Each structure stands twice: as C-alpha cells, then as structure tokens.
Amino acid sequence: MTRKEKLRKTLVILFWTGLVTTAGLSYLYIQRAIPDHLNVVVDQEESFHFSLPVKVSMKSESEEVVLNSGSNIPSDEINLQLNQPFSLYSAEEGTYQLSLKLFGLFSLKDIEVDVSDTRYAIPCGLPVGIYMKSDGLMVIGTGEVTTDSGETMDPADGVLQSGDYIEAINGVPALDKRDMISAVNESDGDAVTLEVRRDGQEMEIEMTPVKTDSGDYKLGLWIRDDTQGIGTMTYISTNGEFGALGHGISDSDTGMLVQTSGGELYDTEIMGIEKGTFGKPGVMSGVIYYGNQSRLGTIEANTNQGIFGIVNDRFRNRVESEAIPVGYRQDVKKGKAYIRSSISGEVKDYEIEIQKVDYSTARKNKDMIIKVTDPELLALTGGIVQGMSGSPIIQDGKLIGAVTHVFIQDSTKGYGIFIENMLQHE
C-alpha cells in the first residue's frame, strides 16, 4: 500500500470515527437537554425553548395536542433546530405523548405531556424541625476492635459496606441500634445472620461477633438508625400535603440519600444566624422541640427532590399565606424573582435575581442559579445559609421553585429546583 493510500485510509477512518462520535454525543446531549415529561395548562398555549445541536423532529401522537413551530400553521409534526422555540396547546385534560426523532428518521425518545387545569399551592418559607427513622440500620462504615486477647482486627471489613441497610438479625427486625447491640451480645460469640439490603438487593450475610477486651461482643460496625435537622417548608397543598427542602436528606458521613421508614416534623426555634463568608457557607442554628404537643406533621418520603408528607392542623393554622398558581419550567425566566423566608422572625419576600435556567433534566435539584440582591437579607445572612433550603421561589405571582444549595465560594448565590420537579417527586 502506497503512502498516499495509507493517508487516504487514515482520513476515511478519522472521518467516520468523528461522524459516529458526533452522532453519539448529539444523541446523549438531546437525551439530557429535552425533558422526559412536560406539563401544560389546559386551554393555554405554552412555549418551550431547548438548545439543540442538530435538527430533530417532534411529532404529536394524539390530535388533542397541537404543535406549533412559529409558522402560525399548527401541525402534528414540527422540526426543531438550535434555538428555535416551539409551543404546545391542548383543549383537553389528560396525558399524551410526543415522539422525538433525529433527522426525522431515528427515534430518540418519547415525551409524556400532562395537560391539567391550573394547580395551586401555598408557599410557606417557615422553618421546621425534621426527624426521620432510617429503613433499617444504616451502615456508616467498619472499624477496628481490640479482642480479649489483645489482637486488633476489623471483622466487618470487606463483608459490609457503607450504605448497606441491616433489616433483621437472626430473623428479628432491627428497628434501632439497641436491637443490634442486644442481639450481638446475646450471641455469646456464635455466628449471627444479618438480612441486608444493598442497592435494592436483599441478601443474607453471616458474621461471627468478636469478644472484645471489655468482655462484650462486637461486629466492628458503625451504624445509624435516625437523622434530624432543621429545614424550610416549601409549600403545602389544600389537602395538607407538603414538600420541603428541595433536595433529599443525605447521611452526613456517607453522603448517601437516607432510605427512610418515615418521620415527623416538629416545632423549631431559630436561635442564631452565622453569616456566610468566602469559602464557608453560613448556617442557621436553632433548637427542635420534640414531643406530641410539638408535632407538625408526618414525613412519608425522602427523595432527591425533597422530603414529602402531610402536615397537621397545628401547622396549617400557622400558615397565613394564600394559595397561588404553580409555574412550570416554561414559566421560569431570567430576571427578578423573590424567595419567601421567615429567617428574620416573620415571613417576608426577599428579592433575588434568576441568573441562569437549565430547562433540561440533567440536574434533579439544580435547575436554576439564583443570586440574592435584597439588601435586608444580605445584611441579615450574607445571602443563602444552610437551613434555608426549601425557601419557595416566586416569580410573576407563581410558585416556580425552591432554594436548594448555596455556593461555597459566594454565599449570595445558590441553586434552585423547579417546583414541578418537587410536585413529581419520585
């Protein structure tokens, strides 16, 4: 083969490799850029805008959903490219489907469209004390123990791992740490069978407790059976359902989302605020009042989009705000908005600026970047502090989202989640 032929073959290979790579990256980008689910208000034209690297076609699988690409000629199929907006309209409530194709040929994904009447929710901004029981005993890690013979060993190393959940010991449900301690000591050194949940899979693991230099028996495990803290209530619905935080509660040691068997909300009192500084987020500190007389509701789910459950009448009577319309992702735009918070001791709306909006589904709770611009809030907190997660975001009279994270290097900035993602929590 001549040098010229080799060069030609190399160029052909590079061309096809580049073409395949570009197509693959475009496919992945479009998968992330366009949501799997869209919400539309019945009898109201909704406009959407997604940045796309290549031309795709969108087709309505039902005559009830009308597509429009700006040509003023409604159709059941439109072509989308780059920054071209499009609109959806339906006069009928229901759930419908759109199909997305690359170059009009290759199927990319199906998009579910929910058409419903205007939804309403009550934005709160009130702090709540949170207590949750884990669904089993969460393994934080393993550790060394000193045996009665003076030997140091780590009996659980390579057997159990961080994020495992121990559901039962010798067939008896493990409800709290005391169950584990009692069962291990009562084994008198005989092997115990642990029913363990790992990444959703059930398994049985047999371990032999080690007699320590203090005379008791241990497995060399660090475990946790509950978690607590202070957060902000985002909204309640007219039937008492609530959403709070805008992000899930993760274990402080493992960073993993806590799998919960339920929990409760309690009265809390904010005792102080430490302002955020460069490289160090501020924090809202307070005290939680546990007890039946202080209960505010029950927690039913802990998800990546927040915690959810039902509030009781004590909390509902405390909320003075009125229900307002829910705004979906297509309603969110850059510019002025407000966050609602009672961090000063009374419920107030503080001005912020929405600086960036990510309309895709790439991030579960980082859909927008916000910046606190209100002088009063900046003087009080320096911006966003830990404990403000869940503070509702309001724009143009609609509840559009909630504060979720603060930027470590700039406490005036943070992330927010679309409220529709909280309303559709997993």
Verify that 289 and 367 share a domain, yes or no.
no
Verify that 336 and 418 share a domain, yes or no.
yes
383: region left, alpha or beta (phi > 0 left; psi from -120 to 50 alpha): left
Q: How many angstroms separate the Cα of 226 from the Cα of each of 231, 251, 287, 291, 297?
A: 16, 10, 17, 16, 17
Verify that 208 and 260 share a domain, yes or no.
no
Verify that 230 and 289 share a domain, yes or no.
yes
Residue 331 placed within a domain: yes
Cα 10 to chain centroid distance, Å, stands at 47
Residue 359 placed within a domain: yes
Domain ranges, residue 301: 127-131+226-318
What is the rounded distance in angstroms from the CA atom of residue 305 to the CA atom of residue 420? 10
Number of domains in the chain: 4
Residue 14 placed within a domain: no
Burial environment of residue 261 by CB neighbours within 10 A (0 to 12, 13 to 18, 19 or more): middle
pLDDT tens for each residue of the chain, 426 residues long: 676 666 676 666 666 666 566 555 656 666 666 777 888 898 888 888 777 666 777 788 887 888 877 655 556 677 666 567 788 888 888 988 888 777 666 777 788 889 989 999 999 999 999 999 999 999 998 888 888 888 888 888 888 888 899 999 998 888 888 888 888 888 888 889 999 999 889 999 998 888 888 888 888 889 888 888 999 999 999 889 999 999 999 887 777 888 888 899 999 988 888 887 777 788 888 899 998 899 999 999 999 999 999 999 999 999 988 999 999 999 999 999 999 999 988 999 999 999 999 887 666 788 999 999 999 999 999 999 988 999 999 999 999 999 999 998 899 999 999 999 999 875
Verify that 302 and 382 share a domain, yes or no.
no
Which tokens is 367 given?
Answer: 């859909």
**Residue at which a domain ends, from 283, 318, 353:** 318
Residue-wise over 69-95: b if at least 16 C-beta within 10 A, else e?
beeeeeeeebebeeeeebbbbbeeeee
Strand 120-123 relative to strand 324-325, pairing:
antiparallel
Which tokens is 353 given?
Answer: 């600026």
Verify that 363 and 294 share a domain, yes or no.
no
Verify that 314 and 328 share a domain, yes or no.
no
Verify that 28 and 113 share a domain, yes or no.
yes
Can you give the pTM of this predicted structure? 0.85
Residue 287 placed within a domain: yes
What is the rounded distance in angstroms from the CA atom of residue 267 to the CA atom of residue 296? 7
